[in-house]
Structure 1
Amino acid sequence: MTRPLRPLFVMLLTACLSSVWSAAWAQAHATQKTHKTRHTPSPTANASGDVGQLPPEVEAALQRAKVPREALHVVVLDTALNATARLSVSAQTPVNPASLMKLVTTTAALDLLGPAFVWRTPVYVEGVVRDGTLQGNVYLRGSGDPRLVVERLWLLLRRLQGLGIQKIQGDIVLDHSAFDMAPRDAGGFDGEPLRPYNAAPDALLLNFKSLLIQFVPDRSANVARVQVEPPLAGVQMPTSVPLSTEACNDYRTGLRADWTDPARVKFAGSYPASCGEKMWPVAYSAPTQFAARAVLGMWQQLGGQLVGQVRDGTVPTNLQPAFSAESAALSETIRDINKYSNNVMAQQVFLTLSQQQRGVGSLGASREVVLRWWRDRVGGEAPVLDNGSGLSRDERISAQSLGHLLQVAWNSPSMSELMSSLPITGLDGTLKRSKSQAVAHLKTGSLRDVAGVAGYVDTASGKRWVLVAILNHPNANAARPALDALIDWAAQQP
């Protein structure tokens, strides 16, 4: 059997979610660095608990970015448990780690759920089928699947039609009860409600509550053709937009999109012909309506009929599922989470940890589950958790604690799964544009005033170091060259 292709929407959307990091990284590496090998003295500890001193090239990069050395929190360790630090500077101070917190969530999930864990979305059919018509309701019950994207929704509904159902006399009922989540303002974090990274978790999370809008220039008609996935029932979208001769810079702003009416999206501007084909992932402006509109839109596109409506509800007691749609394994899911820093997928996994133990997932319960796991498996100072994704102003962890977590992960049975989920310097994920000369697998973290990396760095001699470096400062993103210099320094250590 051939392996199914990875869903296109996931690749495009996760790439979009990393755009903030990528732009900052490109700017930070506008000037190519040179590297010189130097003798490093044996590490020594001082009264503050620090071991060694920041390398001169790191200090110089911080000075150029006007970031004080106190804003950088670093630890470099051997992968062996309880090994002495090679370098430790301000490593004991809890700081905001941004998306480095995903390492806590994904490591705990691999340990508690196992790398082969899958999410199952059961489909229930209530009533009898006569001549292609179901005399009753269909129920879709979410289980927290982080990647129930448009292609898999299509397959699910095709499988429903495979039961001989073309017309549903009753309703399609969406059951979100596996997660207990309070309503959330999509723009509450940073005022960007249309950014897919701000999508709220949901037990029945369909397509990240986001649209993928494709623009295809048609020069003969002087328009760009507009294609949208998934189809949303009751939503009018433009089928074309005028072409312009402008340079392909900020084409999204030039489109002058109007999202104020969720049922009627408008483009008052134009699209530069020089852009060629582009994909624009955008969070739907009425996220609570998204699942219902997407299910009905896809059902109608497949030729299905619905007499009733798509509504929220719960599955009746004792009703058995007709079939279940199964997700990819957790090991594959965390590659999207860590390589592309997908926030809502990380939150789905975080909530699943308590859902699997208690039947219903909630943020409070998942914090308890992870902290108990931390005490049992990691030890030492525990992190301050919020939603497990790092998209938070409240989460905290020290570089030392994160370094110890990476040591524990390295010595665990799931080491290879975690390692393969981390971006590789200069090759993929959020480190694709890295100019570091080292070979390293590192998770990245980025917020307005936070920048960091954490993972494993290889040396020419075959040794591997654990590296954690976190910047908390208003100029943190301008100081990314300091992180590059630190990665390269670690790769030169014997």
Structure 2
Amino acid sequence: MKTCLALLFFLAGTGTLRAGPADAKIKQLAAAPGIRNASWGLSVRDVQTGKAVAERNPSLNLVPASIMKVLVAAAALDKFGPGRTFPTGLYYDGKIDNGFLNGNVYVKGSGDPSLGSQLLKDAAPLYEVFRGWAAALKAAGINVINGAVVGDETAFESVQPGSWAWEDIGNYYAAQPSALTVNDGLYKLFFKPAEQEGGEAAVLRTEPYIDGLKFENGMKTGPAGSGDNGYIFAFPGQYQAVLRGSIPKGPAEFAIKGALPDPALFAAQSFSYYLAKAGINSNKKARKGAMPAGALRLAEAPAVPLKSVVRVTNKRSFNLYAELLLRQLGGGSPSAGAAAVKAFLAGAGVDVSELDVEDACGLSSRDTAKAETFTALLRAVYKKSYFPEFYDSLVFPGDPDATGHVRGLGKGTQLEKNLRLKSGSLNGVRSYTGYLRTKKGRTLAFTSIMNNYSASGSAIDKAHEELLLALYGGY
């Protein structure tokens, strides 16, 4: 389960089919090799009337993968509004005496993912944030810190779900959802591939540099063009990582992405290093901890609006952002966030009696949901004031801001200007959910989830493109 992307499908024995123009295509796909023995849930409804246009096992409980993100994104937009921000604050305690701060400086996180982000286009570069904070310290008369720079992530329960797989932990897509997230929770690890296939790939460096991080290197060189098949095994807070898998032969260097071992500590260390270069020294090592009551605020980092976070969450299927949103919904608690998501859905008239929200991003194989759950949610969001922001976060054919195979679905067809969707994938899981404007001008909300298929992922993509084209032309 290298990614949490989610495309759509599940086939299960016989299911209920609504008669209609797409009926023949659904029957054909359900009987296709590689699909016939899978479990498939399909739900398609007219967003205006609620009429079922096409169905197959719409109430079957399935593993949904990354389309879980749309539930959390919609709940966050509904609770906070598209313009809400969650700024990171700079504080200090103690007394200032002749340029000396006899106390600590605190970087207090509130779950903003934009600090040092490379994914959010309107995020300020980290060096600009640090430059502003350094200026704020100097303006307050602080030239020396008789204490430490402290990173505070206590606003959230900053731990990964226990149901995530060991092979995922340590990689960027399973990063720790810290209230003091920085640099998108990740680092790049660069290798020099061997000249021969099967040779050891040499570790070159990390970007950014992470103090104390060591590697037990078992990374091999695979065939040219084989892509990123490397894994980083490391527990949160662990600075000894194990490298396994392969990278492709050919390029002078090749990078994979890992999860920062301790985001809050990294943020504190990075700012402390910057201050030293700016002439403000600390006499204690940077650390993480809780900011005491009564600390005084010096500055805030500019934070991006929620709509920008939701856009990246869905278009890039970025797991970390979804997990941060879940904790925002729960006041820092992921379990309370899951309860908030279910309460939002129930308030929108969605049946949540069997919905299992184990995480926000869909990486957990213990998430279970029905196709009709997502379709009902899409119909409810269609009538909300924040629908334009939600719709904009979904992927369209050829979308330059999206990642993964879903970008190509429908490209060069009549779907190009009429389809918006979120997809997902795990091993044996494909899912899709979104909106389709038909040839006759109707808008359909659709969801397809498939588990335990044996066809290739590209074949499942093609099958869904054909199904969506049938829906487009028939309604």
TM-score normalised per structure 2:
0.79
Cα distance in 1 for residues equivalent to 2:272 and 2:313 = 29
Cα distance in 1 for residues equivalent to 2:245 and 2:43 = 50
Shift of 1:306: 2.4
Q: Is the 8 A contact 1:336 1:342 kept in 2?
A: yes
Shift of 1:408: 0.6
Name the CA shift for 1:268/1:117 in 2 (closer, same or farther; >3 Å): closer
Is 1:139 the equivalent of 2:106?
yes
Partner of 1:3: none
Shift of 1:87: 0.7
Name the CA shift for 1:301/1:399 in 2 (closer, same or farther; >3 Å): same
Deviations 1:27-82 (A, max 9, x none): x9xxxxxxxxxxxxxxxxxx9764227644454445444222762211111111x5
Q: Is the 8 A contact 1:65 1:479 kept in 2?
A: no
SS in structure 2 of the partner of residue 120 of structure 1: coil
Cα distance in 2 for residues equivalent to 1:143 and 1:70 = 42
Cα distance in 1 for residues equivalent to 2:213 and 2:99 = 28
SS in structure 2 of the partner of residue 455 of structure 1: strand
Structure 1 unaligned spans of 5+: 1-16, 29-46, 218-222, 238-243, 356-360
Cα distance in 1 for residues equivalent to 2:243 and 2:348 = 53
Partner of 2:51: 84
Cα distance in 2 for residues equivalent to 1:362 and 1:245 = 42
Write out aligned runs for 1:280-299 (5 A).
280-284=256-260, 287-288=261-262, 290-299=263-272
Is 1:309 the equivalent of 2:281?
no
Is 1:231 the equivalent of 2:203?
no
**Aligned AA for 2:170?**
L
SS in structure 2 of the partner of residue 367 of structure 1: helix
Say which of 157, 160, 165 aligns to 2:130: 157
Cα distance in 2 for residues equivalent to 1:448 and 1:406 = 26
**Aligned AA for 2:472?**
A
Shift of 1:480: 3.0
Shift of 1:411: 1.0
Q: Is the 8 A contact 2:88 2:109 kept in 1?
A: yes
Q: Is the 8 A contact 1:248 1:275 kept in 2?
A: no
Cα distance in 2 for residues equivalent to 1:269 and 1:97 = 27
Deviations 1:242-274 (A, max 9, x none): xx9983534776xx9998997688999999784
Q: Is the 8 A contact 2:160 2:177 kept in 1?
A: no
Cα distance in 1 for residues equivalent to 2:247 and 2:15 = 57
Deviations 1:399-450 (A, max 9, x none): 1121111011111111110100001123341422325521311000111121
Q: Is the 8 A contact 2:67 2:431 kept in 1?
A: yes
Is 1:427 the equivalent of 2:399?
yes
**Aligned AA for 1:144?**
G
Partner of 1:201: 177
Partner of 1:466: 445
Partner of 1:106: 73
Partner of 2:351: 380
Write out aligned runs for 1:387-466 (5 A).
387-428=359-400, 429=402, 430=404, 431-435=406-410, 437=413, 438-439=415-416, 440-466=419-445
Partner of 2:149: 172
Q: Is the 8 A contact 1:184 1:200 kept in 2?
A: no
SS in structure 2 of the partner of residue 95 of structure 1: coil
Partner of 2:313: 337
Is 1:249 the equivalent of 2:222?
no
Q: Is the 8 A contact 1:18 1:341 kept in 2?
A: no
Partner of 1:11: none
Partner of 1:481: 462
Q: Is the 8 A contact 2:228 2:256 kept in 1?
A: no
Partner of 2:338: 367
Partner of 1:5: none
Deviations 1:444-485 (A, max 9, x none): 011112101100112234332111111022437453332222
Instruction: Give the percent of matched residue pairs that are identical in Structure 1 and Structure 2.
Output: 24
Cα distance in 1 for residues equivalent to 2:15 and 2:229 = 50
Q: Is the 8 A contact 1:452 1:483 kept in 2?
A: no
Name the CA shift for 1:488/1:182 in 2 (closer, same or farther; >3 Å): same
Q: Is the 8 A contact 1:77 1:85 kept in 2?
A: yes
Cα distance in 2 for residues equivalent to 1:367 and 1:460 = 38
Deviations 1:345-365 (A, max 9, x none): 10100110121xxxxx11221
Cα distance in 2 for residues equivalent to 1:226 and 1:393 = 34
Shift of 1:170: 0.5
Name the CA shift for 1:18/1:257 in 2 (closer, same or farther; >3 Å): closer
Partner of 2:196: none
Name the CA shift for 1:344/1:310 in 2 (closer, same or farther; >3 Å): same
Matched residues, number: 437
SS in structure 2 of the partner of residue 409 of structure 1: helix
Cα distance in 2 for residues equivalent to 1:271 and 1:291 = 30
Partner of 2:197: none
SS in structure 2 of the partner of residue 76 of structure 1: strand
Shift of 1:311: 1.8
Shift of 1:334: 0.5
**Aligned AA for 2:208?**
P
Please identify, of 162-171 and 86-95, the stretch whose mean Cα deviation from structure 2 is larger.
162-171
Shift of 1:111: 0.7
Please identify, of 91-100 and 372-381, the stretch whose mean Cα deviation from structure 2 is larger.
372-381
TM-score normalised per structure 1:
0.76
Cα distance in 1 for residues equivalent to 2:68 and 2:318 = 12
Shift of 1:93: 1.8
Partner of 1:73: 41
Shift of 1:337: 0.5
**Aligned AA for 2:155?**
A
**Aligned AA for 2:129?**
L
- Give the root-mean-square deviation of aligned CA atoms: 3.9
**Aligned AA for 1:154?**
Y
The structure whose residues are more often helix, as a share, is: 1
Partner of 1:36: none
**Aligned AA for 2:63?**
N
Cα distance in 2 for residues equivalent to 1:115 and 1:299 = 33
Deviations 1:100-155 (A, max 9, x none): 11111011111111000101111102245567653321011111112323664433
Say which of 467, 472, 475 aligns to 1:491: 472
Write out aligned runs for 1:47-66 (5 A).
50-52=17-19, 55-66=23-34
